[in-house]
């Protein structure tokens, strides 16, 4: 099938690549000329496991192309995806300017029936706004062309995006149009072989499903962080509690890890956006407000431990930091807990010596060169002449480090672990002073 994808970000690029991989003919349109030029040279703008070979082989095979030429893109696709960003507006609600700009562009160039599929995460009612924008643009141009607008939210996880798109848990299709449903079922048939994962519903429910999913996951995290804060005060160990409650199949083990807060491009913005949308319909989303508030303070947790340990005197300290990305297997630094920590440490006059397997370039791009940030080539080099170690992201390569070497290199045998990677008993056997989340203030 001929498909066009607007927006070559995490969602658009991965979706385009997997659609091309199963044989669809895909054109990707973006406003970023540099991104398009780089993709044509085989330079992939994001780190995502398995993505580079998938994009390269499908580009070389002529199944996916990249362009800034919207007119060409719109002529190409009978199915047109909108996968552009929906960043938070000043008040936290989702900013739809990119989505509506694409709607207008599509209407400007379309000459025959198009199915416009919204993959971006957008507030309930956005499909109506997209339809209105397309209709009014068509009318102003005197064109009598028909179209459908479908909601098809994306559930991929950064760090596992290719696998998630190849083997989706569910494919939500929000539409009342039988033709659009049929076309989308055909498009996704290669990903829907094992059992029927397609769930068809009305458009508004599809739009809300995406927010409900992300808000539920964020709620699980903030709930566990609240339990961790209680465990700390009660002298309990949250890791025992986690195993204890996870064994209940109604709760389950997934997504109940305590830590130094959630980040990324989705949870913080989607929780905020749903709170704002709720306000607009006269409802106060109290659970979600608390989820957000708990996360906000949780991101300062490591700093609180560190500052408490040193009685607020961090001036001149050098801190080894392992993990910069908001979670493992991505280079995405949006809303990462490491950023909150680094910025607080810098305010106190400390220097950060950081290592991350993938997010160093992105860190450099965000913070530029500054004397109080040193990026090192290995996790061991981050320990050189450092006073103590802090862990912000649970990369696999941090799970079983050489603790003797850590102790030898640090001037103070001290670890602050924001992801509860190690066993406190083993840390004490190594003679390492260990702070973790919800396991007793200092062990």
**Active-site residue list:** 266
By CB under 6 A, tell whether 362 contacts ligand NAD: no
Question: Are 373 and 342 within 8 A, CB to CB?
Answer: yes
Quick one: which of 77, 85, 174, 413 contacts ligand NAD (CB under 6 A)? 85
DSSP conformation letters of 302-351: HHHHHHHHTTT--TT-EEEEE--SSSTT----TT-HHHHHHHHHHHTT-E
Using CA atoms, how far residue 304 sits from 226, 299, 433, in Å, is: 15, 10, 16
32 in contact with ligand NAD (CB under 6 A): yes
Closer residue to ligand NAD (CB): 49 or 316: 49
**419 is known to lie in a ligand binding site:** no
Q: Which stretch binds ligand NAD (CB under 6 A): 95-103, 131-139, 192-200, 391-399?
A: 95-103
Does 101 contact ligand NAD by CB under 6 A? yes
Task: Determine whether the annotation assigns residue 429 to a binding site.
Answer: no
Shortest separation between residue 376's beta carbon and ligand NAD, angstroms: 27
Q: Does residue 353 sit in helix, strand or coil?
A: strand
Q: According to the binding rule CB under 6 A, does residue 272 interact with ligand NAD?
A: no
Beginning with the edge strand found earlier in the chain, give each strand of the sheet holding 114-118 in spatial order.
64-67, 25-29, 2-6, 79-82, 114-118, 147-151, 171-174, 198-201
- Taking the CA atoms of the chain, what radius of gyration do you get in angstroms? 24
Which CB atom, from 158 or from 394, has the smaller least distance to ligand NAD? 158
User: Quick one: which of 1, 22, 25, 31 contacts ligand NAD (CB under 6 A)?
Assistant: 31
**138 contacts ligand NAD (rule: CB under 6 A):** no
User: CA torsion sign, 167 to 168 to 170 to 174?
Assistant: negative
265 belongs to the binding site for ligand NAD (CB under 6 A)? yes
Both structure tokens of 254: 């997934």
Of 29 and 256, nearer to ligand NAD (C-beta) is 29
Query: Is 259 annotated as belonging to a binding site?
Result: yes
**Contact stretch for ligand NAD (CB under 6 A) within 97-105, 134-142, 366-374, 399-407:** 97-105
Could you say whether residue 67 binds ligand NAD (CB under 6 A)?
no
Cβ-proximal residues to 243 (8 Å cutoff; 6+ apart), any chain? 253
Residue 392 CB, nearest approach to ligand NAD (Å): 19
Question: Nearest CA to 170 among 212, 128, 129?
Answer: 212
Rounded to whole angstroms, how far apart are CA atoms 145 and 155? 31
Answer yes or no whether residue 278 interacts with ligand NAD by CB under 6 A: no
Token pair belonging to 339: 């950023």
- The structure tokens 């109290």 sit at 286
For residues 2 and 77, the answer to whether their CB atoms sit within 8 Å is yes
Nearer to ligand NAD, 80 or 350 (CB): 80
With CB under 6 A as the contact rule, the residue among 11, 314, 319, 410 that binds ligand NAD is 11
Backbone angles phi, psi at 151, to 5 degrees: -100, 125
**Residue closer to ligand NAD (CB basis): 11 or 319:** 11
φ and ψ of 367, to 5 deg:
-100, -10
81 near ligand NAD, judged by CB under 6 A: no
Task: Verify binding: residue 77, ligand NAD, rule CB under 6 A.
Answer: no
* Binding segment (CB under 6 A) for ligand NAD, from list 7-15, 248-256, 312-320, 387-395: 7-15
Three-state SS at 442: coil
Q: Does 180 bind ligand NAD (CB under 6 A)?
A: no
Q: Does 198 bind ligand NAD (CB under 6 A)?
A: no
CB of 210 to ligand NAD, least distance (A): 7
Structural contact between residues 120 and 85, judged by C-beta atoms closer than 8 angstroms: yes
175 binds ligand NAD (CB under 6 A): no
Q: Which residue has the tokens 């030898």?
A: 408
Does 288 carry a binding-site annotation? no
In sequence order, what are the residues at sequence separation of 6 or more whose Cβ sits closer than 8 angstroms to the Cβ of residue 346?
352, 372, 373
- Count of residues that interact with ligand NAD, criterion CB under 6 A: 26
Q: Give least dist CB 100 to ligand NAD, A.
A: 9
Q: Is 104 in the site for ligand NAD (CB under 6 A)?
A: no
Residue 179: enclosing H or E segment and its boundaries? Answer: helix 178-188
* Residue 54 makes contact with ligand NAD by CB under 6 A: no
9 is a contact residue toward ligand NAD (CB under 6 A): yes
Q: Is 257 annotated as a binding residue?
A: yes
95: left (phi over 0), alpha (psi -120 to 50) or beta: beta
409 φ/ψ angles, rounded to the nearest 5 degrees = -80, -35
Which residues in this chain contact ligand NAD in the complex, by CB under 6 A?
6-12, 29-32, 35, 83-86, 98, 101-102, 120-121, 154, 156, 158, 265-266
Binding site per annotation, positions for substrate: 155-158, 210, 255-259, 263, 327
Binding site per annotation, positions for NAD(+): 30, 35, 86, 121, 158, 269, 334
């Amino acid at each position: 099938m001929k498909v066009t994808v607007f927006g070559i970000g995490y969602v658009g690029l991965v979706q385009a690549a997997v659609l091309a991989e199963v044989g669809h003919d895909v054109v990707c349109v973006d406003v970023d000329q540099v991104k398009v030029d780089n993709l044509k040279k085989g330079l992939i703008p994001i780190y995502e496991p398995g993505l580079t070979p998938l994009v390269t082989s499908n580009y070389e095979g002529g199944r996916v192309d990249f362009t800034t030429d919207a007119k060409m893109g719109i002529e190409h696709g009978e199915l047109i995806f909108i996968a552009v960003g929906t960043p938070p507006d000043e008040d936290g609600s989702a900013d739809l300017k990119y989505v509506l700009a694409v709607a207008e562009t599509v209407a400007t160039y379309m000459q025959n029936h198009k199915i416009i599929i919204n993959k971006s995460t957008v507030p309930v009612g956005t499909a109506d706004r997209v339809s209105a924008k397309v209709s009014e643009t068509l009318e102003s141009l005197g064109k009598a062309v028909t179209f459908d607008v479908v909601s098809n939210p994306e559930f991929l996880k950064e760090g596992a995006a290719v696998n998630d798109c190849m083997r989706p848990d569910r494919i939500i299709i929000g539409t009342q149009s039988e033709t659009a449903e049929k076309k989308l079922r055909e498009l996704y048939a290669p990903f829907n072989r094992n059992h029927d994962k397609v769930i068809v519903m009305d458009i508004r429910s599809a739009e809300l499903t995406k927010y409900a999913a992300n808000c539920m996951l964020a709620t699980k995290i903030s709930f566990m962080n609240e339990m961790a804060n209680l465990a700390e005060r009660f002298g309990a160990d949250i890791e025992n509690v986690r195993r204890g409650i996870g064994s209940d199949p109604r709760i389950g083990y997934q997504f109940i890890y305590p830590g130094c807060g959630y980040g990324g491009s989705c949870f913080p913005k989607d929780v905020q956006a749903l709170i704002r949308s709720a306000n607009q319909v006269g409802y106060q989303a109290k659970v979600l407000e608390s989820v957000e508030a708990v996360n906000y303070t949780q991101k300062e947790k490591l700093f609180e431990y560190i500052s408490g340990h040193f009685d607020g005197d961090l001036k001149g300290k050098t801190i080894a930091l392992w993990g910069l990305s908001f979670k493992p297997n991505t280079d995405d630094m949006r809303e990462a807990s490491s950023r909150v920590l680094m910025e607080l440490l810098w305010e106190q006059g400390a220097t950060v010596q950081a290592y991350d397997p993938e997010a160093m370039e992105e860190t450099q791009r965000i913070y530029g060169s500054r004397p109080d940030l040193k990026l090192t080539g290995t996790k061991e080099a981050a320990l050189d002449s450092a006073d103590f170690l802090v862990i912000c992201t649970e990369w696999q390569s941090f799970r079983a480090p050489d603790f003797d070497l850590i102790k030898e290199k640090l001037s103070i045998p001290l670890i602050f672990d924001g992801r509860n990677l190690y066993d406190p008993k083993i840390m004490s056997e190594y003679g390492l002073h260990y702070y973790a989340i919800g396991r007793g203030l200092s062990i």
